[in-house]
Amino acid sequence: MSLIAIAPPAFDVDIDLAYATTQNFTGEPIYGRAVAQLHPEAATALTRAIGLAAALGLRFRVFDAFRPVEAQWRLWEAYPDPQFIADPQRGSNHSRGIAVDLTLIDGASGTALDMGTPFDDFTPAAHHGHPDLSAEVQRNRAILLGLMTAAGWDWYRYEWWHYQLFDSQRYPLLCDAAAPLPMMTPAPDREAAQ
């Protein structure tokens, strides 16, 4: 099974992969290569969402897409809470290449719309429909939800940024070696052996 790289110009998105930097909840880079990849069906659904957003003068900023099984284990070891991090024994839809974490940005300025919390905020304020958010934040989240669901994506109630394809179990879990562009940093013992 092949994954498709999600990058301009083929995909009019801003790529900001949090797990390729220290700017994530672990404080360490998880990915050695900052490349967003998706299953072809997810890439098609993202293309639909991009078109819908463009009609409103908006674009997407992608925080995560395909996440190798090895990366899922590293996230789970750092924060083993199944409400926010999928148990790697069950599998994450990111590891199937059918989930994407994203937000909306202004198409002209590139400024992110206010969603009330940052990406990977593991608090109730990150839940869809959380009542203690401003009208502007609720509206921005509703626009994101509307664009993504109209394009064929399912949503996750605890994370305003997470969307996935329906019927996820029909897609296999993928390790880093299965990706056309492997993402993981080599383990220290492999580096020493080379």
> What single letter denotes the amino acid at residue 91?
G
What stretch of H or E contains 102? Answer: strand 99-106
Distance CA 8, CA 18 (A): 18
pLDDT for the residue 191? 39
Q: pLDDT of 150-188, one tens digit each?
A: 999 999 999 999 999 999 999 999 999 999 999 996 545
Task: Count Cα atoms within 13 angstroms, Cβ side, for 150.
Answer: 12
Q: What angle do CA 67, 68, 73 make, to 5 degrees?
A: 95
Catalytically annotated residues: 159
Q: For residue 15, what is the domain's CATH number?
A: 3.30.1380.10
Q: List for the chain the helix, strand, coil content (%; round to 5).
A: 30, 15, 55
Low-confidence ranges of the chain (pLDDT < 50): 187, 189-194
- Using a 10 angstrom Cβ sphere, with 0-12 exposed, 13-18 middle and 19 or more buried, the burial of residue 134 is exposed
List the domain range (segments joined by +) for residue 127: 4-193
Of the candidates 84, 91, 67, 71, the one whose C-alpha atom is nearest the C-alpha of residue 28 is 71
Domains contained in the chain, number: 1
pLDDT digits (tens, 9 = 90+) for 132-142: 999 999 999 99
